[in-house]
Each structure stands twice: as structure tokens, then as C-alpha cells.
Amino acid sequence: MIPIEYFLTFGTILFVIGVYGVMTKSSTIVVLMCIELMLNAANINFIAFSAYGNFIDAALGQVFVIMTISVAAAEVAVGIAIVLNAYKMRKTVSTDDLDTMRW
């Protein structure tokens, strides 16, 4: 059987890639995609823990994953709409140009 560390390491790598993307990318769409990566890292953690742990309620982690997937879908739907709205108003989706409000 594959040890649980493999899954957790995979999840961590995904999470760190996501954080890196959020911190460095200037396109808002890419930032939203990186946030999805981070959410999926957490999903992998949940599934791994619920498969390997000895829980009274084994479905708990899986239920949480379903919640996360639906929340992530809603979040991206709203996020893309808001980015589109910003594009309509400002003709840009770059985080560097959305800087009229500072400090």
C-alpha cells in the first residue's frame, strides 16, 4: 500500500504551487486558477486522511470534500463574473493596473 506521506507531499506541493502563483502572477484569471489548486490540495489531504485514519465516521472527510468542491465551483463562478465586470469597466484584468485605491 502506498504510504500516506506520498499523498500529503503531493498535496503540499500543489498547495505551495498555488501560493506561489497567487503571490507572483498579475493576471487575475491565473490567480483564480491558483486558488483552485490550493483548494484541490486540501481535498487530496481530506481524502488521504479519511482513507488512512481510523474514524468512527469514515465518510466525514469525503463529505467535506464534496462541500469544498461545490463551494469552489460557486466561488469561481462569482469570481469570473466579477473579473469580467472589472474588464468591462477598466479594460484590464491585471492586478498591477487595478490600483486606484491605495493605503
Partner 1 sequence: MDATVITDIFGSYSPIAPMIVLIIGALLMPALYFGFKKKAPVSAIALIVMVISIAINLIMLTGANYPAEYASFEGLFEYNAFSGLMILLFQTVALITLFVSISSTETTTLHFGAYNALLLIATVGMMFIGEANDLVGIFVGVEAVSISSYVLVTMKRCDSRAAEAGVKYVVIGGLSTALTIYGISMLFGSLETLTLSELGPALAANGYSWPLVIGLICMIAGYGFKIAAVPFHMWAPDVYEGSSTPVSLFLATGSKKMGLVVFFKVFLVMFVVAKSMAGFDIELIQYIFAIMAAFSMTVGNIVAISQNNIKRMLAYSSIAQAGYILIVMAVMSEYALVGGLFHMFTHVFMKGGAFLIVGALICVGIGEKITDYNGLAKRAPLLAFAMMLFLFSLAGVPPLAGFTSKFILFSGAIFDADGSGVMTQWVWLAFVAILNSAISLYYYVRVIKAMYIEKPSKDASGKIKIPNTFAIAIAVCAVLVIVLGVYPGPILDLCADAAAALI
**Residues lying near partner 1 in the complex (CB under 8 A):** 8, 11, 15, 18, 22, 28, 31-32, 35, 38-39, 41-43, 45-46, 48-49, 53-55, 60-61, 63-64, 67-68, 71, 74-75, 78-79, 81-83, 85-86, 88-90, 93, 95, 98, 100-101, 103
Three-state SS letters, 50-88: HHHCCCCCCCHHHHHHHHHHHHHHHHHHHHHHHHHHHHH
CB of 34 to partner 1, least distance (A): 9
- Determine if residue 45 is left, alpha or beta; phi over 0 gives left, psi from -120 to 50 gives alpha, anything else beta: alpha
Minimum distance from CB of 66 to partner 1 (Å)? 10
Q: Shortest approach of partner 1 to residue 3 CB, angstroms?
A: 14
Residue type, 35: I
Residue written as cell 481510523? Answer: 54
Smallest separation (angstroms) from partner 1 to the CB of 33:
10
Closer residue to partner 1, CB minimum distance, 1 or 57: 57
The CA R_g of the chain, rounded to the nearest whole Å, is 17
